[in-house]
Amino acid sequence: MPQSPPVMEQIADNIYIETAYEGVNVGAVVTGQGIIAIDAPTYPRQARDWAIRLQTLSPRPVLFTILTDYHGDRILNARWLNAPIIAHQVTAEKLDHYIKRYPANLLENMAARNPYRSRESISGAIEKAAINFTDSFHLHKGGVHFQLLKAPGPTSGNLWVYLPAKGILFAGDTVTTGHHPLLLEPVSDQWLQTLQRLERWPGALHTVVPGRGAIPVETDTVPIRAYLQQMQERVRSHVAAGKAREETAVYIPEFLAMFPINELPLDWLRQQIKCSLDHIYDEIQLGQSNRESIVM
């Protein structure tokens, strides 16, 4: 169903977010030279709306769009912001891999999640990353210092955007509120390490902007950590019992119940949870293979 018009929220001087778009949260930081956009809305109409609204914040252009990962929700409509992209190297390589168009399975997945939005054209020119980095990257624009930090989460290409002067962290999908943590790669151990880094942050954080969902009064990583660890435990026992990868579907109801469905198609969400289980299965199998190789 169509949602009510979004309302931009100012969380600090010259820092704005939008959490009402369907898909992901987006942000904008207004500097003396122009705007730094953080992620882009998932669907074309909302991306165009965001681009128009950014024009009301500053007479200067969007200087860069920072993508916090390579999820289709973020990459498909970044072009509407008409700015060079900054991303982690993994995300940049993923974008480089797409030659002329985005893969059909990515577009089909988006359409399956929201048939209403699927009537919009979500296939367009592929935007490549103009700047990428591996561990960290410092950006200084118009008197504002941005720290971009490698932060594996659902993918190995997730990053954080930290504004040290304001104590604000855009966490991307490493932190979500009221949404299932969904893996796109077999990197659950790395994601747990990232959550530990956030829990041990060396200083005060005024605001942590999640990749999806409302901004919490106080960031709580426990639900995400518990979900990932419980999934690891189930799959580890599954592997130890010699059961097949396909049989991990038996655990879907358990994990489906741990977070709200949020009006998502139930079959679609079940499939995403199955993909997460499969990624952890592969991760555990790979770990065992590596240990056996060392012993040999």
Residue 245 lies in a domain: no
Please give the average per-residue pLDDT across 237-265, as a whole number: 97
5 vs 220, which has greater pLDDT? 220
Residue 281 lies in a domain: no
Please give the average per-residue pLDDT across 270-295, as a whole number: 82
Residue 159 lies in a domain: yes
Q: Give the pLDDT band of residue 294 (cuts 50, 70, 90).
A: very low
Q: Above 70 in pLDDT, residue 295?
A: no
Strands 159-163 and 144-150, by their bridges, are antiparallel
pLDDT at 236: 98
99 vs 233, which has greater pLDDT? 233
Determine the Cα–Cα distance for residues 23 and 49; give it in Å rounded to an integer.
14
Q: Give the pLDDT band of residue 105 (cuts 50, 70, 90).
A: confident
Give the list of residues 6+ apart from residue 274 with CB closer than 8 angstroms, or none.
Answer: 248, 249, 252
Question: 22-71: per-residue pLDDT in tens?
Answer: 899 999 999 999 999 999 999 999 999 999 999 999 999 999 999 999 99
Give the torsion through C-alpha atoms of 99, 101, 102, 104, to 10 deg. Answer: -120
Please give the average per-residue pLDDT across 116-136, as a whole number: 81
Determine the Cα–Cα distance for residues 208 and 185; give it in Å rounded to an integer.
24
Residue 22 lies in a domain: yes
Determine the Cα–Cα distance for residues 151 and 174; give it in Å rounded to an integer.
8
pLDDT at 265: 94
CA atoms within 13 A on the CB side of 213: 21
Determine the Cα–Cα distance for residues 269 and 266; give it in Å rounded to an integer.
5
Tell me how far apart the 2 most distant CA atoms of the chain are, in Å. Answer: 64
pLDDT at 170: 99
Residue 127 lies in a domain: yes
Tokens 């169509």 correspond to what residue? 2
Range of the domain at 81: 9-219
CA atoms within 13 A on the CB side of 37: 33
Q: What is the CATH number of the domain that holds 144?
A: 3.60.15.10
What's the whole-model pTM score? 0.93
Total number of domains in the chain: 1
Residue 2 lies in a domain: no
Note whether 80 and 62 are within 8 A (CB): no
Residue 13 lies in a domain: yes
Q: Give the pLDDT band of residue 288 (cuts 50, 70, 90).
A: low
Strand partners, 148: 137, 161
Lowest-confidence pick of 87-91, 112-116, 162-166:
112-116
Determine the Cα–Cα distance for residues 257 and 274; give it in Å rounded to an integer.
14
127 vs 156, which has greater pLDDT? 156
Residue 214 lies in a domain: yes
Note whether 181 and 224 are within 8 A (CB): yes
Q: Above 80 in pLDDT, residue 116?
A: no
pLDDT at 245: 97
Question: 199-242: per-residue pLDDT in tens?
Answer: 999 988 999 999 999 998 888 899 999 999 999 999 999 999 99
pLDDT at 4: 53
> Residue 211: enclosing H or E segment and its boundaries?
strand 207-212
Three-state DSSP state, 141:
strand
DSSP annotation string for 2-51: PPPPP--EEEETTEEEE--SSS--EEEEE-SS-EEEES--SSHHHHHHHH
The fraction of the chain above a pLDDT of 90, given in percent, is: 79
